[in-house]
Amino acid sequence: MESEIVRRLLQGEEAGMTLLRQRYGGLIDYVIGGILPDARDREECRSDVELQAWQKIGSFDPNRGSFSAWLTAISRNAAVSRLRRQRQEVPLDAVELQAPSAEEAVLRKEREARLQAALRSLPQEQRRLFLRKYYYLQSTAQIAAELGLSERAVEGKLYRLRKKLQRLLGGVL
Amino acid sequence: MESNQFDRFLLDSLDQLPPEGLDSKAVTPWRKPVMQILWGMALTAFTLNLWNLRYVLPFLGLLLQYLGFRTLRRENRWFRAAHVLSVLRAAWSAAWLILLAPPLWGTVPDPWPAASNLAAQLAQLLLFRQALRTVYAKNQKKPPHDPLLWATLCLLVMAVCVVWQIDWLPLTVALIGLQILSLWLLSRVGRDLDQVGYTMQAAPVRWSGGAVLGVAGGLVLILTFGTLLWFSHRPPEAVEASQSDASALEMLVGEDAALLVDLPQTYLSLLEQAVSAQVTASFENGSLDGGPQVTAFHFQTEDRWVYTLYCFQWEHPCSWWGDTVYVHVTPYGQGDLVGGGLLWERDGKTWTAPISDLTYSSRREMDPMLGVMTTQNEIQGVVTFPFGSRAQRGYVLFKMQPNPWEINTPSLFAYTHRILPAYPYAQNPSGGRTYSTGRVDFYLEETPEP
């Protein structure tokens, strides 16, 4: 099904978009819903995501990850971008367009590499918690409900996770 | 770095790049609760008859089902109903775990809980199925498969086979096959939910899953062992004892009359009617080494009644966990139990209490050696002394009147000593040893014909 959707989107077929909505509509709503509390924002953001999927399908590389992961990344970034615009921050796209200095770019690369290494060293449970909190931007209440934990327990786990990451990333910071 | 700054740093870093190997399927609202339900069903479906796992695993399974349904209880009314049922089943199972552990085993008929458990299991499967169908309907989709329906049918077929109780190897193999099939079908539920599961609503909880498992498991464990200890150590209600005057019996039993001062005066009055007596303090046929010291008294009255008294005494106090006294009376003539008592020293005083559950039973059965019907007379009682007691001792007194042509009244005294409290769910108490006097004979003296 996944390869069928990608093929149809690459060929510019409308049916590909229909299949994407059917198959991944729930996933897109779920990712956006954790970041944008307002229903209207979510609706608009969903349209943005579908548009980006249509336009950027060429950038999807199956060797780098699954289609659902790619779609998750698009949905997440679209929602975060919309949230920042609402809070009158610099939009994500604008940040990407700003050319960092050579020194900044090197430092950022190093920082990202260290973060990826630190994430790889985390146990699976902590890694998923990290993703929920910092990638999906889910609230503590949502994380707690979906993991069957109390909010206090989630806060405690996040506190320990932050401490661990700070220790692992100490040299970079 | 401050906490907020660090959070900002993490968020900014993730803006630049998605995390490596992002497994989007791992972050869902349904995966954890549904997997808890499925694992719970698997644990309740299969039993392992070793190390009490047949009790522990189903209980753990029911708790997991409860945790799963608890998270999904706000999704629709079917999940809510399944949640309520899971609470009832977990509570029911916990009560059973506690009730079945101590020597209450066998007091409740077996088929009843098995049948009720099966009915609840079927109901829960059907509720779960309906709940998932409602989720699909909410998304205006049709479920691609219906594994829960097939799992329910498997369970029904298994139930019918079990009710028939057919001991036939191909059927057993077929049942195991059905069980595996139903579990495989259950495992497909997760795969089927990939499309619609993201719309499920997780309900907030006050207690984390680990806390629920820990508290419920701990509580059941404490109550189970607490009940076990309670039933293993039930000291009788005691009163302060006073020594009786046994001097009248010194003529018949000599210095052994010192042992008789523990008996109530009413019993001594019965024994004072005796015209002859015999004391046995060493038992050549017995196995009393390491056990209590036992002395057997026989008193014969003028009308051929024989009063037999077994006195036992521990040198070191050790009888805390429901020891058993047993007397086998050889079936000649008629007989009856007079009484039995325990005595011990504590706080500088002597205490006494009746032997718990002391019973006399008589039953007719075929003697395999002689091929004739014989009467088996047995006396049994439970001996538990309070903690801190010393000089633990006791007695059993019974009477018999042999047939006119009999000249002997044989009997046997056995004492089963339990070193430890009962082990949970064990039908036979372990860690004990039985001491016996072997056969003790008393030959009647000639008495005038009545």
Task: Please give the tally of structural domains in chain B.
Answer: 2
Q: What DSSP character marks residue B317?
A: -
Set of chain A residues whose Cβ sits within 8 Å of the Cβ of B24: 27, 66, 68-69, 71-72
Cross-chain residue pair A148–B1, CB shorter than 8 Å? no
Q: How close A11 gets to chain B, by Cα (Å)?
A: 24
Distance CA B17, CA A119 (A): 13
Q: Determine, yes or no, domain membership for B254.
A: yes
CB atoms under 10 Å from CB of B350, counted, come to 16
Set of chain B residues whose Cβ sits within 8 Å of the Cβ of A79: none
Q: Determine, yes or no, domain membership for A11.
A: yes
- Regarding whether A6 and A87 lie in a shared domain, the answer is yes
Decide: helix, strand or coil at residue B20.
coil
Is the pLDDT confidence value at A70 over 90? no
Distance CA A47, CA A84 (A): 18
pLDDT band at residue B104 using 50, 70 and 90 as cut-offs: low
Set of chain A residues whose Cβ sits within 8 Å of the Cβ of B207: 150
Query: Is residue B362 within 8 Å of B376, Cβ to Cβ?
Result: yes
Distance CA B321, CA B232 (A): 5
- Torsion from C-alpha of A68, A74, A79, A80, nearest 10 degrees: 120
Range of lowest pLDDT (B114-118, B342-346, B407-411): B114-118
Give the angle B103-B104-B105 at the CA atoms, nearest 5°. Answer: 85
Q: Determine, yes or no, domain membership for B210.
A: yes
| Closest C-alpha among A103, A170, A156, A132 to residue B23 | A132
- Regarding whether A70 and A17 lie in a shared domain, the answer is yes
Cross-chain residue pair A65–B22, CB shorter than 8 Å? yes
Set of chain A residues whose Cβ sits within 8 Å of the Cβ of B3: 162
- Regarding whether B184 and B58 lie in a shared domain, the answer is yes
pLDDT confidence of residue B131: 92
- Regarding whether A19 and A46 lie in a shared domain, the answer is yes
**Would an 8 Å CB–CB cutoff place B2 in contact with chain A?**
no
| Total count of residues recorded for chain A | 173
Range of lowest pLDDT (A118-122, B63-67, B167-171): B167-171
Cross-chain residue pair A134–B26, CB shorter than 8 Å? no
Provide the residue range defining the domain that includes B338.
239-440
Residue with tokens 């014909």: B449
Provide the residue range defining the domain that includes A39.
2-95
- Regarding whether B256 and B199 lie in a shared domain, the answer is no
- Regarding whether B297 and B178 lie in a shared domain, the answer is no
- Regarding whether B273 and B216 lie in a shared domain, the answer is no
Q: How close B195 gets to chain A, by Cα (Å)?
A: 6
Mean pLDDT of A133-142: 90
pLDDT confidence of residue A173: 52
Task: Please give the tally of structural domains in chain A.
Answer: 2
How many Cα atoms within 13 Å fall on the side-chain side of residue B380? Answer: 9
Q: How close B10 gets to chain A, by Cα (Å)?
A: 7
pLDDT confidence of residue B108: 55
Distance CA B218, CA B141 (A): 43
- Regarding whether B318 and B348 lie in a shared domain, the answer is yes
- Regarding whether B331 and B194 lie in a shared domain, the answer is no
- Regarding whether A104 and A89 lie in a shared domain, the answer is no
CATH code for position A162: 1.10.10.10
Tens digit of each residue's pLDDT (9 = 90 or more) over B303-349 = 889 999 999 999 998 888 889 999 998 766 788 999 999 999 999 99
| Closest C-alpha among B409, B412, B401, B414 to residue B442 | B409
Set of chain A residues whose Cβ sits within 8 Å of the Cβ of B204: 141, 144-145, 151
pLDDT confidence of residue B147: 82
Q: Determine, yes or no, domain membership for B280.
A: yes
Q: Determine, yes or no, domain membership for A173.
A: no
* Domain end call among B196, B212, B232: B232
Helices marked H in chain A — which ranges?
Answer: 2-10, 14-35, 39-56, 67-86, 92-97, 102-121, 124-130, 140-147, 151-168
pLDDT band at residue B150 using 50, 70 and 90 as cut-offs: confident
Share the mean pLDDT of chain B. 85
pLDDT confidence of residue B365: 80
Tens digit of each residue's pLDDT (9 = 90 or more) over A71-118 = 888 999 899 888 888 876 555 454 444 556 777 778 777 877 888 888
Distance CA A77, CA A100 (A): 20
Mean pLDDT of A159-169: 87
Which residues of chain B from 124 to 143 reach within 8 Å of chain A, CB to CB?
139
Cβ-in-10-Å burial (0-12, 13-18, 19+) of B206 comes to exposed
- Regarding whether A44 and A89 lie in a shared domain, the answer is yes
Q: What DSSP character marks residue B287?
A: B
pLDDT confidence of residue B118: 79
- Regarding whether A80 and A113 lie in a shared domain, the answer is no
pLDDT band at residue B120 using 50, 70 and 90 as cut-offs: confident
pLDDT confidence of residue B266: 94
Tens digit of each residue's pLDDT (9 = 90 or more) over B423-449 = 777 766 566 889 999 999 898 887 555
Query: Which has the higher per-residue pLDDT, B162 or B87?
Result: B87
pLDDT confidence of residue B15: 66
Q: How close B67 gets to chain A, by Cα (Å)?
A: 7
Set of chain A residues whose Cβ sits within 8 Å of the Cβ of B206: 150
Is the pLDDT confidence value at A157 over 80? yes
- Regarding whether A6 and A90 lie in a shared domain, the answer is yes
Cross-chain residue pair B20–A119, CB shorter than 8 Å? yes
Q: Determine, yes or no, domain membership for B194.
A: yes
- Torsion from C-alpha of B232, B236, B237, B238, nearest 10 degrees: -130
| Total count of residues recorded for chain B | 450
- Regarding whether B192 and B260 lie in a shared domain, the answer is no
How many Cα atoms within 13 Å fall on the side-chain side of residue B337? Answer: 20
pLDDT confidence of residue A170: 76
- Regarding whether B243 and B228 lie in a shared domain, the answer is no
Distance CA B413, CA B328 (A): 7
- Regarding whether B300 and B245 lie in a shared domain, the answer is yes
In a mutational test of the A interface, the residue from B3, B14, B192, B194 whose CB has the highest number of chain A CBs within 10 Å is: B14
Set of chain A residues whose Cβ sits within 8 Å of the Cβ of B197: 26
Query: Which has the higher per-residue pLDDT, A13 or B6?
Result: A13
| Closest C-alpha among B115, B123, B60, B111 to residue B90 | B60
pLDDT band at residue B112 using 50, 70 and 90 as cut-offs: low
pLDDT confidence of residue B406: 80
Distance CA B382, CA B421 (A): 14
Decide: helix, strand or coil at residue B311.
strand
CATH code for position A12: 1.10.1740.10
pLDDT confidence of residue A171: 56
**Would an 8 Å CB–CB cutoff place B450 in contact with chain A?**
no
pLDDT confidence of residue B198: 86
In a mutational test of the A interface, the residue from B2, B24, B34 whose CB has the highest number of chain A CBs within 10 Å is: B24
pLDDT confidence of residue B105: 56
Q: Determine, yes or no, domain membership for A132.
A: yes
Copy the structure tokens of residue A96: 């990407």
* Domain end call among B216, B232, B248: B232
Is the pLDDT confidence value at B362 over 80? yes
Question: Residues of B154-178 as b/e, b for ≥16 C-beta within 10 angstroms?
Answer: bbeebbebeeeeeeeeeeeeebeeb
Mean pLDDT of B383-393: 93
Mean pLDDT of A139-157: 93
Tens digit of each residue's pLDDT (9 = 90 or more) over B258-302 = 999 999 999 999 999 999 999 999 888 888 999 999 999 999 999
Set of chain A residues whose Cβ sits within 8 Å of the Cβ of B139: 26
- Regarding whether A109 and A45 lie in a shared domain, the answer is no
Query: Which has the higher per-residue pLDDT, B9 or A88?
Result: B9
Q: Determine, yes or no, domain membership for A21.
A: yes
**Would an 8 Å CB–CB cutoff place B25 in contact with chain A?**
yes
Mean pLDDT of B403-416: 88
- Regarding whether A59 and A111 lie in a shared domain, the answer is no
Distance CA B146, CA B125 (A): 12
Q: Determine, yes or no, domain membership for B449.
A: no
pLDDT confidence of residue A97: 46
Query: Which has the higher per-residue pLDDT, B405 or B103?
Result: B405
Is the pLDDT confidence value at B450 over 60? no
**Would an 8 Å CB–CB cutoff place B9 in contact with chain A?**
yes
* Domain end call among A70, A95, A120: A95
Question: How many CB pairs below 8 A link A and B?
Answer: 116
Q: Determine, yes or no, domain membership for B445.
A: no
Q: Determine, yes or no, domain membership for B184.
A: yes
**Quick check: ipTM above 0.85?**
no
Q: Determine, yes or no, domain membership for A162.
A: yes
* Domain end call among A95, A120, A150: A95
- Regarding whether B94 and B203 lie in a shared domain, the answer is yes
pLDDT band at residue B19 using 50, 70 and 90 as cut-offs: low
Set of chain A residues whose Cβ sits within 8 Å of the Cβ of B7: 134, 162
- Regarding whether B177 and B29 lie in a shared domain, the answer is yes
**Would an 8 Å CB–CB cutoff place B198 in contact with chain A?**
yes
* Domain end call among A53, A71, A95: A95
Backbone angles phi, psi at B310, to 5 degrees: -105, 120
Minimum Cα–Cα distance from B193: chain A residue: A26
Copy the structure tokens of residue B134: 């409602």
- Regarding whether A142 and A79 lie in a shared domain, the answer is no
Q: Determine, yes or no, domain membership for B448.
A: no
Tens digit of each residue's pLDDT (9 = 90 or more) over B205-244 = 999 999 999 999 999 999 988 888 888 888 888 999 988 9
Set of chain B residues whose Cβ sits within 8 Å of the Cβ of A66: 24
* Domain end call among B232, B256, B289: B232
Share of chain B above pLDDT 90, in %: 42
- Regarding whether B248 and B128 lie in a shared domain, the answer is no
pLDDT confidence of residue B414: 96
Q: What does R_g of chain B's alpha carbons equal in angstroms?
A: 33
Sheet holding B274-280, edge to edge: B239-240, B349-354, B334-346, B390-401, B306-313, B293-301, B274-280
CA quadruple A165, A123, A60, A45: dihedral sign: negative
Which residues of chain B from 53 to 92 reach within 8 Å of chain A, CB to CB?
67, 70-71
